[in-house]
A and B are shown apart, each in its own frame.
Chain A
Amino acid sequence: MGSAVRNANAELRTHRTAVKTLADAGETGLWRQSMTPSHAILSVEGVCKSYGALRAVDGVTFQVAPGEIVGLLGPNGAGKTTTINMILGVLAPTAGRIEIEGIDLAVQRSRALGKTNFAAVYAPLPGNLTVEQNLRVFGLLYGVARLSERIDELLAAYDLERFRKTKAGVLSSGEQTRLSLAKAMLNRPRLLLLDEPTASIDPSSARDIRAGIADFVEAGHCGVLWTSHNMVEVEAVCDRVLFLSRGKILLEGDPKTLPREHGAASLDDLFVQVAHESIREGAEAK
């Protein structure tokens, strides 16, 4: 399947840019610091979300650069999904500003969302439509050009050709996840939001899918915001991670060096530390 994924994205491969070169040279941190919101694919500035007295997200600021995969990590209830929902325009921030390729989501919602797409385990596609029908409906919603061709490419890339006429509801959870990913790639998004994208997928397929997304990011020069509880996956895929805890960004950095910088043996250990800290702070706050 991995080769098929790469074939599907072959037309985009000519765009590999200085981002990778800078990343290889360890200069991405410097480059990102100088990155202004207008250069970022995603710019989240001081975003808050309150439900009464509860602050689910509290002044979160970050950016996703072209060609970058950013991991959004944190324990359950940290505010990851709330943040993603705000970026998807299905939840209005209480304060702050979200821009996708410089387009203010609050002002030009439709235009901004046309540049994004997402896949999330908690948002399966309608089970009463077939795989092909789902892709066609969402392709029209995203205004995908040469839609039939694009559907054929994605069915091949995500090993879904044999399920073309199968209703999505009867697919296994892994197959449904692949369908969600195919949907997420329909419009060749500039910003891809992935919430546990390889959950329910076997390790071999998950590796191929990670490779496919990494290829797409490099070649298409898009940015990805990726949440996962699989720290091995995060370390393998993400250029940078943000640790959210109780609605705030607690840590930020390279997933390969961040654990050492904070005295943890691995990203997994660092995650546990952050989670425990979050629980302790929560208990103290009460």
Chain B
Amino acid sequence: MTGSRVAAIVLRQIYLMRGSPQRVLPIFAWVAVDILLWGFITRYLNAVGRPGFNFVPALLGAVLLWDFLTRVMQGVTMAFFEDVWSRNFLNFFATPLRISEYLAGLVATGVATSLVALVVMLALAWAAFGLSFAGYGLALAPFLMVLFLTGIALGITGASIVLRLGPASEWLIWPIPTLVSPFVGVFYPVTILPEWMRWVSAVLPPTYVFEGLRAVVAGKPAPWDRLVIGLGLAIAFVVLACAAFAAVYRYAIRTGLIARYSAETVS
């Protein structure tokens, strides 16, 4: 892997954001709206709920972590979509650029944009609603890592789908986090789900993060053994997503999809 080629992919995104406030604003605007909305909901629930239970870390913390995963995924897919929209595949893939370098560039862009979003969310949640993760310190890192890896896997999977099915399939990508969220128990324990949904939950890494978060909020020790399972699954998801992208890319090279992509002739 050559650093300059990964840097080229990242630099392209920096150039695009530098000259375009409409690209920068969505990085933190929607997560800020989410934090405000759920912050007020939790404040209301605290007012009407039973005393002694604090909804702020349980609900607002869950929203914050879920938004982080969504931002990571969108950071990767948005960087990819820029190449779709500017019909740039032929130019990029006729250079020495390797698929691993291209994906590394997309992931690096996703990391950068999601970290900005995370900082904004943390600051707003703390300033407006008193939610602070500072007390958890480095213990929070494994939770974030699982979500981060899952977001990358979902982002690369989304990019694979669009590369295979064409630009018109973009609408399939945005609802992916919404489709996943009922299974991973962002707001409720997965034990309330029907059995078949729990089978799905068991293979989704974020399930272990939100289970762990609820345990910590309830004053129990963090279930590290469960989190390790989540981490292993997340790593497996990333590997599978990269393999899927590489397979779609090979298909695109075999069929001429890359060369014809600009014409939107994908069937």
Interface residues of A (CB under 8 A from B): 51, 81-82, 85, 88-92, 109-111, 113-114, 116, 118, 120, 122-130, 133, 136-138, 140-143
Is the CB–CB distance between A143 and B4 below 8 Å?
yes
Q: Which residues of A contact B2 (CB under 8 A)?
A: 143
B16 interfacial by beta-carbon distance below 8 Å: yes
B259 interfacial by beta-carbon distance below 8 Å: yes
Q: How far is the CB of B6 from chain A (nearest CB, A)?
A: 9
Further 7 A-B residue pairs, CB within 8 A, beyond A88-B94, A91-B256: A82-B256, A110-B96, A120-B90, A123-B262, A126-B12, A126-B91, A137-B11
Pairs A-B, 10 closest by C-beta atoms: A140-B8, A88-B94, A126-B86, A114-B96, A141-B95, A110-B96, A85-B259, A123-B90, A133-B15, A90-B258
B220 interfacial by beta-carbon distance below 8 Å: no
Q: How far is the CB of B98 from chain A (nearest CB, A)?
A: 5
Q: Which residues of B contact A125 (CB under 8 A)?
A: 88, 91
Contact sample, A vs B, 30 pairs, CB 8 Å cutoff = A51-B255, A51-B256, A81-B259, A82-B256, A89-B253, A90-B90, A90-B94, A90-B253, A91-B253, A91-B259, A109-B96, A110-B97, A111-B96, A113-B94, A114-B96, A116-B94, A123-B90, A126-B12, A126-B88, A126-B91, A128-B20, A128-B86, A129-B16, A133-B12, A133-B15, A137-B11, A137-B12, A140-B11, A141-B5, A141-B97
* Minimal Cβ-Cβ distance residue in A for B102: A141
Is the CB–CB distance between B254 and A118 below 8 Å?
no
Q: Which residues of A contact B255 (CB under 8 A)?
A: 51
Q: Which residues of A contact B258 (CB under 8 A)?
A: 90-91
* Minimal Cβ-Cβ distance residue in B for A133: B15
* Minimal Cβ-Cβ distance residue in B for A136: B11
* Minimal Cβ-Cβ distance residue in B for A193: B94
Taken together as a complex, chains A and B put the C-alpha atoms of A35 and B97 apart, in Å, by 30
Q: With A110-B98, A126-B88 in contact, is A140–B7 under 8 Å at CB?
A: yes
Is the CB–CB distance between A92 and B253 below 8 Å?
yes
Q: Which residues of A contact B224 (CB under 8 A)?
A: none
Taken together as a complex, chains A and B put the C-alpha atoms of A143 and B8 apart, in Å, by 10
* Minimal Cβ-Cβ distance residue in A for B8: A140
Q: Which residues of A contact B4 (CB under 8 A)?
A: 140-141, 143
At the interface, is chain B mostly helix, strand, loop or mixed? helix
B223-240 vs A, Cβ < 8 Å mask (1 yes, 0 no): 000000000000000000
Is the CB–CB distance between B11 and A90 below 8 Å?
no
Taken together as a complex, chains A and B put the C-alpha atoms of A16 and B146 apart, in Å, by 59
Q: Which residues of A contact B8 (CB under 8 A)?
A: 137-138, 140-141
Q: With A122-B262, A141-B5 in contact, is A89–B94 under 8 Å at CB?
A: yes
Which residues of chain B from 1 to 38 have a CB within 8 Å of any chain A CB? 2, 4-5, 7-8, 11-12, 15-16, 19-20
Q: Which residues of A contact B86 (CB under 8 A)?
A: 126-128
B53 interfacial by beta-carbon distance below 8 Å: no
Q: With A90-B253, A128-B86 in contact, is A140–B259 under 8 Å at CB?
A: no
Taken together as a complex, chains A and B put the C-alpha atoms of A142 and B5 apart, in Å, by 8
Q: How far is the CB of A175 from chain B (nearest CB, A)?
A: 17
Q: Which residues of B contact A126 (CB under 8 A)?
A: 12, 86, 88, 91
* Minimal Cβ-Cβ distance residue in A for B261: A90
Most B CB atoms within 10 A — which of A51, A109, A140?
A140
Is the CB–CB distance between A143 and B91 below 8 Å?
no
Taken together as a complex, chains A and B put the C-alpha atoms of A113 and B97 apart, in Å, by 9
Q: How far is the CB of B208 from chain A (nearest CB, A)?
A: 38
Taken together as a complex, chains A and B put the C-alpha atoms of A277 and B96 apart, in Å, by 39
